[in-house]
Amino acid sequence: MERKPRIAFFLPARKGSQRVKNKNTRTFAGIEGGLLANKLQQLLQTERIDEIILSTNDEECLRIGERYARQSPRLRVERRPDELCLDSTNLQDLISYVPTVTDAEHILWGHVTTPLAGAEEYDAAVEAYIKALGEGYDSLVGVSELRNFLLDASGRLINNTTPLPWPRTQDLAPLYEINHTVFLASREIYVSQRNRLGQHPALFVMDKIHSLDIDWEEDFTIAESLMLARQAKKG
């Protein structure tokens, strides 16, 4: 029987948010512990993730994380060095830090701020990643498709490959936006390239709802409304 590769989920949750106050821990859709608690609940429901690493310097995040860690040995809470939690911290320095807290062969980097992407999406991403490796890709990234009239700063339509000035939107060349749900690559890429993606990533296309990333206060409100609607539907 072929051995499945070991996959770790790296979940950063830095103290402080300049745009959304207490973004990670304030109550979200009735969930005490907020976005962080929601994400930990989702991750603990996955089947293809072997280890979950919460990396934070925030005391409230540490408290919430330890509460969930007592429920499952898969979850480990790591206090991140303060020098890796600054607004000025270089992302590559944080990327280089990740292999020091896990020896997993592959690392899935995700974010607390994508509350509508859950266990089903993460397990599907892992399956897609394993398949993509066999097809010559070296990593996988979550994206949402943009198929609309997109202009550059000069007003030029950048994704019209047809001879028509105003083609149907479905005839426009699709572009893809990274949605911050999934960055999945091997440990080797983290070490040798100091990157969370390789040179030839596969695209894991997700719908708009599962792609929602909270960056502004209005994003929080929208995501909370969608989560409450999901909860009501489940009964």
pLDDT single digits (tens) 44-60: 999 999 999 999 999 99
Rg (CA), the chain: 19
Which range (1-5, 97-101, 116-120) has the least confidence?
1-5
At 86, the pLDDT band (50, 70, 90 cuts) reads confident
Say whether pLDDT at 71 is over 60.
yes
Helix (H) or strand (E) holding 106: strand 106-109
Q: Give a yes or no: residue 51 inside a domain.
A: yes
pLDDT of residue 2: 63
Long-range contacts (CB closer than 8 Å, 24 or more residues apart) made by 122-125:
122/9, 122/42, 122/43, 122/46, 122/48, 122/49, 122/182, 123/46, 123/47, 123/48, 123/49, 124/204, 125/181, 125/182, 125/184, 125/204
pLDDT of residue 87: 82
How far, in whole angstroms, is CA 80 from its chain's centroid?
19
Q: Give a yes or no: residue 1 inside a domain.
A: no
Q: Give a yes or no: residue 2 inside a domain.
A: no
Q: Give a yes or no: residue 70 inside a domain.
A: yes
pTM (2 d.p.): 0.94
CA 107 – CA 182 distance, rounded (Å): 10
Please give the residue range of the domain that contains residue 26.
7-234
Q: What is the mean pLDDT of the chain?
A: 95
CA angle in degrees (0–180, nearest 5) for 190-13-228: 120
Say whether pLDDT at 1 is over 80.
no
CATH no. for residue 97? 3.90.550.10
- The predicted model gives 211-226 an average pLDDT of 96
Answer whether 206's CB lies under 8 Å from 143's CB: yes
- Residue 196 has a CB neighbour count (10 Å cut-off) of 22
Answer whether 7's CB lies under 8 Å from 48's CB: yes
Count: domains in the chain: 1
Q: What is the percent of the chain where pLDDT is above 90?
A: 89
Q: Give a yes or no: residue 190 inside a domain.
A: yes
Q: Is 227 or 234 the better-scoring residue by pLDDT?
A: 227
Q: Give a yes or no: residue 157 inside a domain.
A: yes
Structure tokens at 206: 């997700």
Helix (H) or strand (E) holding 108: strand 106-109
